[in-house]
């Protein structure tokens, strides 16, 4: 089983928080007990919004995950959602008389910036402003001082919220807050309330304050009862102007959120949970109106309005139902848009089956020793399967370690919001050390001199040490124990891993097995020598795809899975000890753009390499060697599938086009799909077959596919 940092507890608490927010706006217990309802909605319910702020801070602005591009994306997306929500509620605002002469210009601007144009929408501008303030402070003064600064802002807000009754007795302070309330009706906003929770989430992500779940739960229990007492006391002495901000809310949220981080596991529906809770939050006031109107029309006021608990349940159920409908429609629209995109493709495309990718990842993980983690090799545009779409999907299903060849590949993934470790396996110019640190990448040390130069750049960066055990490509010499030990003492290099590469692990020939065993032995001898110098070993990894398939008994911290993750072997002749049920992820397709008759004796293509032996029909496909299709598939060496039939490629493959013989295939029309790699009906052309026909390997075939090909990424037909 893999050791994955997947925070299931955080994901599932989103639903609880969403229902707490509905409770705040429906007061479900008022029919039975005003005190109980106050406790639920004005004390317990006050954890919901801070939780959402902390979740964003946890994943956006910790010292390890801080990324200005991700923050800009968060602000942009939240702004778009806010604009949509404002437009969505315009009819209700008109019905409520919002747009009056007393409520124009300045007041509307104030509401948009701080309070929201409807009572629940304040959360969105607060999120935008809060994350901006929090991230700016973290960037300028660091997390600890940012927490102090936002705590000061929180105290200012606290005095204008639950503790307002005390400062009303001080004329000067009362005047100050009166001026504040001219700008915003509440201090519960993006300036005084939200920033501290974004920073607190970042602090929890950056440092383990308490490694014991039991201690956190005890802390949560104590903090909660203290907050309960605080809220009840302030309510009884009637000093609350509003009731969103408590002193004990901070420690309560700290212990609650930290406790949730202990619940980890596979997260296959996190995106769905995020989307559904957001929809529930945005539309639940509309459902309140809908439930009330329905109750009046059906004469059910006593049941659905007067009874607060049934009112709450009806609003919650309808919100969930509408959320489900929107998610289904969203999925349907995405499917349709992909179909439209595909039908509008004027050249050729790659189809990526995410179901098969998920299946392969699961099968490979099960084949690994307990405690070993899958490191997905996603260099060269994920072996031609998509530079960011494949890694992001793997990230969503729980893969948290990735390997690339270059720093620019790593930066592209980080800018695409990829979480987890990203190991650069190739050379990076030491002058780019600042970028390695900025984007939280991990650099391979290719030899001792390189390590020295990288260390001198003055940036603290994470590294893995590469050991050359016989491949004689990159890495420290296997006998350079002293130099490896010296690198462990480097001030600016944080050694997170050490690894080697097996150069003939794909072969089961006796001499190759002997060589591989010598490589493995040399690597472990080096590790033993390092350990003998009182150095704690970092994470180790030896196996790539064939290393796992032929030497599955090796116990390491990572397996660098490349070609097998994409469901194929490098060559059709390859034999492996493990026979896993791997499924091809990639299909290469094109379409017929022209059909023409060729008379017996006429030629087709450059060099007149095809001469028709009879009257024939040929089809032209808009794909060529500039798209990565090997030119030596020309002249009947390669074939394609159309309508389930296999037909030959004729003549020479051009840079942008090729021709196929469709003489014996019925009912072929312009626009028909042609499969060059993949399945059509019962027939299939495997990537390894294409590689074998060109005396190459699938790794090369995949990685050379040109940038002109479009990607259609989705699931198998049975899952659409």
Q: Tokens representing 151?
A: 């705590």
Q: Which of residues 205, 236, 261 is at a domain's end?
A: 261
Q: Is the pLDDT of residue 460 over 60?
A: yes
In a domain, residue 370? The reply is yes
pLDDT at 443: 98
Number of domains in the chain: 3
Residues 87 and 226 in one domain: yes
Question: pLDDT grade, residue 611 (50/70/90)?
Answer: very high
**What pLDDT sits at residue 301?**
85
Question: In the predicted model, what is the mean pLDDT of residues 53-65?
Answer: 79
Mean pLDDT of all residues belonging to the chain? 90
pLDDT of residue 573: 86
Which is more confidently placed, 461 or 113? Answer: 461
Average pLDDT over residues 114-139: 91
Same domain flag for 648 and 556: no
Q: Quote the pLDDT of residue 713.
A: 79
The mean per-residue pLDDT over the stretch 614-623 comes to: 95
- What is the model's pLDDT at position 379? 95
Which of 72-86, 196-210, 588-602 has the largest mean confidence? Answer: 588-602
Say yes or no to pLDDT of 627 above 60: yes
DSSP 422: E
Q: Are 172 and 249 in the same domain?
A: yes
What pLDDT score does 331 carry? 74
Q: Give the pLDDT score at 346.
A: 61
Q: Which band of pLDDT confidence, cut at 50, 70 and 90, is reported for residue 304? A: confident
Which CATH number covers residue 616?
Answer: 2.40.37.10
**Tokens representing residue 598 in the block:** 């060729």
Q: What is the pLDDT of residue 3?
A: 37
Kindly report the length of the chain.
720
Q: pLDDT grade, residue 336 (50/70/90)?
A: low
> In this predicted structure, what is the pLDDT of residue 54?
95
Residues 114, 183 contacting (CB under 8 angstroms):
yes
* 124 lies in the same domain as 230: yes
What is the tens place of the pLDDT at every residue in 275-296? 888 899 999 999 999 999 998 8
Same-domain pairing of 223 and 364: no
Whether residues 560 and 598 fall in one domain: no
Residue 115 clears pLDDT 60, i.e. is over it:
yes
510 in the same domain as 376: yes
556 and 609 housed in the same domain: no
Taking CA atoms, 596 is separated from 599, 604, 616, 617, in Å, by 10, 11, 8, 6
pLDDT at residue 719, as a whole number: 33
pLDDT of residue 68: 65
The verdict on residue 328 lying in a domain is: no
The answer on 132 and 198 residing in a single domain is yes
What's the mean pLDDT in 622-633?
94
Q: Report the pLDDT averaged over residues 219-241.
A: 95
State how far the Cα of 709 lies from the Cα of 699, in Å rounded to an integer: 17
Task: Kindly tell me if the per-residue pLDDT of 338 is higher than 60.
Answer: no
Residues 6 or more apart whose CB falls under 8 angstroms from that of 578 comprise 367, 548, 549, 550, 552
pLDDT band at 268 (very low <50, low <70, confident <90, very high): very low
Domain assignment present for 627: yes
Report pLDDT digits (tens) over 669-692.
999 999 999 999 889 999 999 999
Structural domain boundaries, residue 434: 354-476+493-518+535-566
Q: For residues 104 and 139, state if they share a domain.
A: yes
Signed CA dihedral, 338, 343, 347, 348: sign only: positive
Bridge partners for 445 per DSSP: 465
- Do 562 and 619 belong to one domain? no
Tens-digit pLDDT profile for residues 480-491: 999 999 999 999
570 vs 617: CA distance, rounded Å: 35
- In a domain, residue 176? The reply is yes
pLDDT of residue 210: 62
Tell whether the model's pLDDT for residue 66 goes beyond 80.
Answer: no
Same domain, 617 and 554: no
> What pLDDT does 102 receive?
57
Gap between the Cα atoms of 74 and 57, Å rounded: 11
In the prediction, which pLDDT does 717 show?
Answer: 40
Res. 20: pLDDT tops 70: yes
Residue 341 within any structural domain of the chain? no
Residue 580 lies in a domain: no
Amino acid 655: pLDDT: 95
* Residue 340 within a domain: no
In a domain, 509, yes or no: yes
Tens-place pLDDT, residues 401-423: 999 999 999 999 999 889 999 99
**4 pLDDT exceeds 50?**
no
341 or 446, which is more confident? 446
From 261, 285, 316, the end of a domain falls on 261
The answer on pLDDT for 130 being more than 50 is: yes
Q: Tally the C-alpha atoms within 13 A of residue 660's C-alpha that lie toward its C-beta.
A: 30
- Is 606 an annotated catalytic residue? yes
Catalytic residue among 32, 95, 119, 606: 606
The CATH number of the domain holding residue 422 is: 3.20.20.10
For residue 615, what is the DSSP state?
Answer: S
Averaged pLDDT, 19-25: 95
**What's the confidence (pLDDT) of residue 715?**
60
Q: Which of 261, 285, 318 finishes a domain?
A: 261
* Cα gap 264→328, rounded to integer Å: 27
Closest CA to 122 of 52, 179, 61: 52
Q: Is 379 labeled as catalytic in the residue annotation?
A: yes
Question: Which is catalytic among the residues 4, 379, 462, 589?
Answer: 379
Does 339 have pLDDT greater than 80?
no
More confident residue, 33 or 106: 33
Q: Report pLDDT digits (tens) over 600-610.
A: 999 999 999 99
Query: What is the model's pLDDT at position 340?
Result: 47
Give the confidence band of 101 by pLDDT, cuts at 50, 70, 90.
low
Query: Stretch 84-111: mean pLDDT, rounded?
Result: 77
Task: Annotate 345-375 with b (16+ C-beta within 10 A) or e (fewer).
Answer: bebbbbbbbbebbbbbbebbbebbeeebbbb
Pure H helices in 489-591: 510-531, 545-550
């Amino acid at each position: 089983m893999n050791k994955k940092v997947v925070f299931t507890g955080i994901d599932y608490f989103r639903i609880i928080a969403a229902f707490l927010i509905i409770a705040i706006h429906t007061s479900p217990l008022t029919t039975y007990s005003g005190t109980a309802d106050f406790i639920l909605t004005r004390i317990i319910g006050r954890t919901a919004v801070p939780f959402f702020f902390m979740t964003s801070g946890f994943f956006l602005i910790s010292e390890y995950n801080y990324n200005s591009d991700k923050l800009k994306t968060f602000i942009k997306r939240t702004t778009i959602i806010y604009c949509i929500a404002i437009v969505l509620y315009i009819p209700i605002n008109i019905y409520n008389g919002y747009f009056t002469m007393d409520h124009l210009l300045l007041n509307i601007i104030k509401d948009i910036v701080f309070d929201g144009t409807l009572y629940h929408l304040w959360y969105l501008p607060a999120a935008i402003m809060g994350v901006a303030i929090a991230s700016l402070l973290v960037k300028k003064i660091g997390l600890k001082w940012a927490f102090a600064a936002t705590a000061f802002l929180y105290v200012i807000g606290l005095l204008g919220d639950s503790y307002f009754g005390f400062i009303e007795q001080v004329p000067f302070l009362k005047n100050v807050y009166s001026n504040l309330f001219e700008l915003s009706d509440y201090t519960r906003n993006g300036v005084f309330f939200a920033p501290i929770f974004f920073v607190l989430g970042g602090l929890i992500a950056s440092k383990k304050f308490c490694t014991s779940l039991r201690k956190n739960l005890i802390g949560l229990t104590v903090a909660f009862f203290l907050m309960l007492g605080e809220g009840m006391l302030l309510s009884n002495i009637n000093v609350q102007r509003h009731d969103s901000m408590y002193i004990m809310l901070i420690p309560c949220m700290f212990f609650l959120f930290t406790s949730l981080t202990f619940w980890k596991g596979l997260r296959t529906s996190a995106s769905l949970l995020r989307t559904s809770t957001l929809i529930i939050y945005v539309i639940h006031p509309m459902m309140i109106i809908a439930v009330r109107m329905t109750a009046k029309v059906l004469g059910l006021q006593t049941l659905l309005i007067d009874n607060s608990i049934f009112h709450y349940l009806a609003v919650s159920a309808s919100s969930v139902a509408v959320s489900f409908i929107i998610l289904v429609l969203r999925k349907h629209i995405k499917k349709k848009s992909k179909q439209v995109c595909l039908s509008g493709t004027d050249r050729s495309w790659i189809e990526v089956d995410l179901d098969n990718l998920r299946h392969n990842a699961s099968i490979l993980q099960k084949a690994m020793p307990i405690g070993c983690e899958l490191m997905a090799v996603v260099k060269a545009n994920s072996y031609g399967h998509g530079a960011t779409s494949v890694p992001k999907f793997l990230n969503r299903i729980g893969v948290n370690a990735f390997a690339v060849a270059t720093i620019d590949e790593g930066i592209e993934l980080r800018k695409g919001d990829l979480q987890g470790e990203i190991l650069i396996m190739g050379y990076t110019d030491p002058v780019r050390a600042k970028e390695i640190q900025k984007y939280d990448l991990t650099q391979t040390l290719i030899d001792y001199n390189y390590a020295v130069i990288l260390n001198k750049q003055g940036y603290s960066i994470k590294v893995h040490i590469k050991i050359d055990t016989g491949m004689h490509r990159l890495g420290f010499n296997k006998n350079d124990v002293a130099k490896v030990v010296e690198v462990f003492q480097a001030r600016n290099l944080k050694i997170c891993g050490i690894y080697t590469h097996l150069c003939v692990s794909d072969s089961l020939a006796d001499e190759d097995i002997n060589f591989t065993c010598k490589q493995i032995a040399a690597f472990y001898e080096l590790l033993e020598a390092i350990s003998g110098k009182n150095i704690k070993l970092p994470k180790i990894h030896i196996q790539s795809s064939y290393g796992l398939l032929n030497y599955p008994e090796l116990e390491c911290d990572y397996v660098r899975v490349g070609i097998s993750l994409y469901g194929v072997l490098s060559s059709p002749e390859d034999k492996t000890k493990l026979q896993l049920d791997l499924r091809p992820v990639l299909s290469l397709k094109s379409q017929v753009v022209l059909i023409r008759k060729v008379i017996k004796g006429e030629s087709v293509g450059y060099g007149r390499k095809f001469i028709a032996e009879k009257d024939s029909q040929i089809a032209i496909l808009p794909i060529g060697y500039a798209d990565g299709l090997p030119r030596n598939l020309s002249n009947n060496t390669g074939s394609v599938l159309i309508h389930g039939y296999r037909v030959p490629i004729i003549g020479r493959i051009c840079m942008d086009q090729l021709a196929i013989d469709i003489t014996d295939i019925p009912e072929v029309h312009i626009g028909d799909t042609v499969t060059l790699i993949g399945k059509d009906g019962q027939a299939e052309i495997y990537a390894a077959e294409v590689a074998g026909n060109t005396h190459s390997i699938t790794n090369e075939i995949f990685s050379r596919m040109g940038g002109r090909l479009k990607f259609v990424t989705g699931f198998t037909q049975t899952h659409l």
